[in-house]
Structure 1
């Protein structure tokens, strides 16, 4: 049995097939959640935006058109919610990331404090470097690094031209390299 394409599943959901939505949710929940976790420092906000994105998918199902890949459409919704969030308030670092890093570190690794500290410090430096990027550059970088989107898809998700997406990605990479040296 061949796997149904995301676009076909969304059209089936549009036609009333609730199981099609469940399949889409199962396929893309991890990817979408990681997108939000990388885009912000607070898990509770990532949870909220994750839920808001799926609510928007449900609400917009009648307007869905398979003009682009489903994942591009989904990430456009997510990206817009993230941008709206940052426009409303400045992100803050509450220290939750350090607690979460320790909680999710396997026990056998915790027994090697130098390694844990090194891994944690590298992750923390990357998080700080990402937080210092302008939002548009951070989003372009995360769409490339986390979602493995190409420049054309990044442009589509962000609602900009190909060259703009390309330059945002290039500037993000340059700034990250300089910051992490």
Structure 2
């Protein structure tokens, strides 16, 4: 059986039993979505790198006690959520959408796709990306987190509720309000 066909929960149990290749497979599957969730929650690439590393260390530390009570992805994003909460409790959040990425590009430029339609289309794409970043940043933290858990983590409503420790109705409400605010903020681009 190829590693793509092996469920995450089985891989995690194998890792807990000492299979390092199982960890590599889990990391390959989930590293980027977890990093994007944390980075887009913080708007700080270096800090996101550090916090995501902490998430993976936490996974390693908790591996011997791991029991598949929920989908592995939900459990992993719960670890990431808890690490973000710990960070926010101990640090003030200073996010700037004007910040540059490590390579000196504007944050909005990293979201803008290469449209292939020339400079005007690229400018519109960058403007739309910046508007999305601005709208995400303007969301109240619980709504932003619910949106990013679904958009970046692929979590279901029930999984968002579980990861954030709220009821399903609260998670649903947060997600609905986030989508509505984002839709309103991006109306000019439709």
| Structure 1 partner of 2:50 | 48
| Structure 1 partner of 2:69 | 67
One of 84, 99, 118 as aligned partner of 1:95: 99
Structure 1: give runs of 5+ residues left out of the alignment. Answer: none
Structure 2: give runs of 5+ residues left out of the alignment. Answer: none
Q: CA RMSD in A?
A: 2.2
Query: Contact (CA 8 Å) 2:146, 2:160: kept in 1 or not?
Result: yes
Count of paired positions: 180
Query: Contact (CA 8 Å) 2:144, 2:178: kept in 1 or not?
Result: yes
Are 2:144 and 1:138 aligned? yes
One of 147, 150, 154 as aligned partner of 2:153: 147
Query: Alpha-carbon deviations, 1:85-129, whole Å to 9, x = none?
Result: 2332213215215435547878885x9222222111111111111
| Structure 2 partner of 1:35 | 37
Separation of aligned partners in 1, 2:110 and 2:139 = 27
One of 83, 86, 109 as aligned partner of 1:84: 86
TM-score for both structures, normalised by structure 1 = 0.88
Query: Contact (CA 8 Å) 1:9, 1:20: kept in 2 or not?
Result: yes
